[in-house]
Every structure is written in C-alpha cells, then in structure tokens.
Amino acid sequence: MTEPKIPAARNAPTSANATRPVRAAAGALTTTVAVTLPVFLVGGLAVQISDELQFSPAGLGLAVSAYFGVSALTSLPSGALVERFGAARISRIGIALSAAALLAVAVAANALWSLIAILALGAGANAMGQLASNTSLSRHVPAGRQGLSFGVKQAAIPVASLLSGAAVPAVALTVGWRWAFVLAAGLAAVAVLLVPADLERPRAAHGEEARQATGALVVIGVAATLAAGSANALGTFLVDAAVTRGIEPGPAGLALTLGSAVCCAARVIGGWQADKHPGRQVGVIAGLLAGGAVGLAVLALSGPVPLLVGVVVGFGLGWAWPGLMNFAVVRLHPQAPAAATSITQTGVYAGGCLGPLGLGALATATDYPTMWIVAAAAMLTASMLMILGSRLLGRHPVAG
C-alpha cells in the first residue's frame, strides 16, 4: 500500500522562480534553527544553568515541557495563521519572538519559574516557524525534490542541538552560560534576512477533501507523541545523565554534538531516499523508530562506549523521522500544508511536553538507566503505531 503520488507540476516553481528552491531550503533551515534554539540551548547548558538556578532533572523536564506544551497548544492556530497570512510573514514573527526569548533568558532568568515563564512565552515561535517552513517548501520546491528539502529543513533541529552542545566548552565554561543566549539571539535575528517572499498561494482545500486523511493523521500524531517524547530525552537529559555517570561536562557536551551531527546526516539522507520511494515513508519511519529504541536502551549501560553507541544509534535512527513525516503529510494535502502538518506537529510538541516532564520525574525518582529503558519502550510502541498509520494513509487519495 502506498500513498498516492502528486503530479510534479502542481508544486513546481515557474521558470521565473527557478532559484527559489535553494532559497526556500536555506530560509527553512535557518528559520527552524532560530525558533528551536531556546529549548535546545537550555538542554545543552543544563548543568551550568541548574547549578546557578538550583533545580533538579525534574525541574529541567518541567521547563522543557512547558515550552513544548505551549508549542502544542499553538500548533493548530499557527497553521491557520500561515494559511491566512502567508509563510514569510509568520516566519519573521516567529524568528523575532525566539530572539526575544533568548535575550530574556540571558537577562531575566533568575530562578526556575522565571526560566519556565520565558520559555513558555517564546514557544509560539516554534510552532509558527515550523509550519511556515513546511508551507514554504511545499510551494517553492518541485515535488521530485521535496523529500530532500524536508530532510534538510528538519536537519536544522539537530543543528540547534549541535550548537547547544558546542556551546558548553566554547562559551558556558569560559565566559558563562548567559552569554551563550546573547550570542544565540544575535544569530537567530540574522535568520530574518533569509526568509523568502511568498509566492501567490493556491486555493485551500475545502470540505471532505481537506479532512479525508484526518483519522490517519491523528494516529500518526499519537505515534509522534510517543516518539518525540522519547527522542527529546536525548537532547534534554543526555549531558546531565552522562555527568551523573561520571563523565566530565565537556566530553558530555561533545557527545551531544556528535549525536546531533549524526542526526543531521540521517535526516538529509532520509530525505534523499524519500524522493526515490515517496510512497513508503511512514513505513520507513516505523523502522527507524524500532532502531532508535535499541539506541535508547544501550544508553542504560554505563561507560563511554555505550554512551557513544547509544548516542549514534539513538540520534541517527530514533530522531531521523520528522522530515519524512512532514513530507508524507504534505503529499496528501499540497493545497493546505500548514493546516495538515499542524495536526501531526501537535503530536510532536505534545511528546516534547509530556516526555521530558514524565521522564525527568522518573529520573529523579529512580535513576537515568531506568528512564532510558522506559523511553525505549515508548519509542518501540510508536513504531507499531506508525505501521498502523501507514495502512490508514494508503486508503486515501491525494487531496484535490
């Protein structure tokens, strides 16, 4: 069973806009980095921030959960805003909001609750930037290259995590963690310059056409909740977990950097193969999640070798799927990509909220090895739900 194929002409730019695919991909990547930097920087600098603000892994989980919880609540409204006002305008608003949140953390985060409040206020930037980027790619990039473009776009998220890990030895351990947020705010603001202007938007789909695959999308969204909840534990708790097991903060941060680099490569390669076999991607996601569950389980073992193996496999497989998911959804709803992907993105953000909250509390009550085993079980369950979602998607033709 395969997802129906969209004619290339529907999404192909005109000759007058022949350079737009590259510009759209660059804009989508930089926008996604900019709007996700606040939460990943908090995770990467967790040791330094928690030492100053005096909070436990449960407190870190609460802060990250608040960010993704607000992202989940704003996903559907953000999708509607993108469809109404265009991807370019909403991208710029999201970038500005993220830069403001980064500066606010640097200046005003003096306790756990102030950190949570700032992250929550800036979380809407995440939903706006992600959905606007999805729309920009679907309307600027030809159908035969959309898989690769979504892979590149989603690779921007581990880039944010990579930058966060690198910030530990480069900035946090030298001039202080607050300056890392100031630097990140400046980098985020530059992303505004790379946002491409909107093309004339096609008529949005209506009625049953627009809702035809909603049931399948909800199943995939639930799977994404479990998968994202587990995968977010890598970026949020990896450094602190490694330090707890006796590894120094510098090497622990570099391990996060390595995992992020592997994830970047996996997402780009995954997008490339999606263009070759566009109808199989939800099934591919299921396989990636099963492999990622193995990586999470390996992290429960002590020592630097299990750490490296778990990071490579966990990031390389268990966190390589979001671009493939967005690609599969956009193929079904090319006329309303923001509205369609807002359903599955709600699941991703819900996982980002519930995962760190629950797993952080579990790590505090028990230990990190137990947390990694539970995360692995949740990711394996997500793999099975993705198989069900793939079957449901195969029953629906492309939206008109």
Across residues 240-260, what is the average pLDDT?
A: 80
Compute the chain's Rg from CA coordinates: 19
399 assigned to some structural domain: no
**Domain that residue 77 falls in:** 19-198+210-393
pLDDT attached to residue 2: 44
398 assigned to some structural domain: no
pLDDT attached to residue 163: 66
User: DSSP 3-state helix, strand, coil percentages of the chain (rounded to 5)?
Assistant: 85, 0, 15
User: Residue 181: in which H helix or E strand, if any?
Assistant: helix 177-190
Instruction: Kindly state the percentage of the chain with pLDDT values over 70.
Output: 85
Task: Name the nearest CA neighbour of 221 among 341, 355, 393.
Answer: 341
Across residues 176-195, what is the average pLDDT?
A: 86
pLDDT attached to residue 233: 81
The amino acid present at 42, given as its one-letter code, is V
204 assigned to some structural domain: no
Q: Which pLDDT band, with edges at 50, 70 and 90, does 59 fall under?
A: confident
Average pLDDT value for the chain: 82
How many Å apart are CA 203 and CA 162, to the nearest integer? Answer: 39
Reply yes or no on whether the pLDDT at 350 is more than 60. Answer: yes
Instruction: Specify the higher pLDDT residue, 324 or 19.
Output: 324
Question: Cβ contacts of residue 258 below 8 Å, gap of 6+?
Answer: 308, 311, 312
pLDDT digits (tens, 9 = 90+) for 93-148: 999 999 999 999 999 988 999 999 999 888 999 999 999 999 888 888 887 888 99
> Which CATH number belongs to the domain containing residue 149 in this structure?
1.20.1250.20
186 assigned to some structural domain: yes
Q: Which pLDDT band, with edges at 50, 70 and 90, does 224 fall under?
A: very high
pLDDT attached to residue 175: 67
pLDDT attached to residue 81: 93
The DSSP secondary structure of 271-327, one letter per residue, reads: HHHHHHSGGGHHHHHHHHHHHHHHHHHHTTS-SHHHHHHHHHHHHHHHTS-HHHHHH
| Domain count of the fold of the chain | 1
Question: Cβ contacts of residue 28 below 8 Å, gap of 6+?
Answer: 133, 134, 136, 137, 149, 152, 153, 156
11 assigned to some structural domain: no
Q: Which pLDDT band, with edges at 50, 70 and 90, does 169 fall under?
A: low
Instruction: Kindly state the percentage of the chain with pLDDT values over 90.
Output: 28
221 assigned to some structural domain: yes
266 assigned to some structural domain: yes
pLDDT digits (tens, 9 = 90+) for 303-318: 888 888 898 899 888 9
Is 194:88 a contact under the CB 8 Å cutoff? no
pLDDT attached to residue 172: 58
94 assigned to some structural domain: yes
DSSP state of 143: G
Token pair for 9: 């002409």
pLDDT attached to residue 210: 43
* Lowest pLDDT segment from 1-15, 174-188, 220-234, 247-261: 1-15
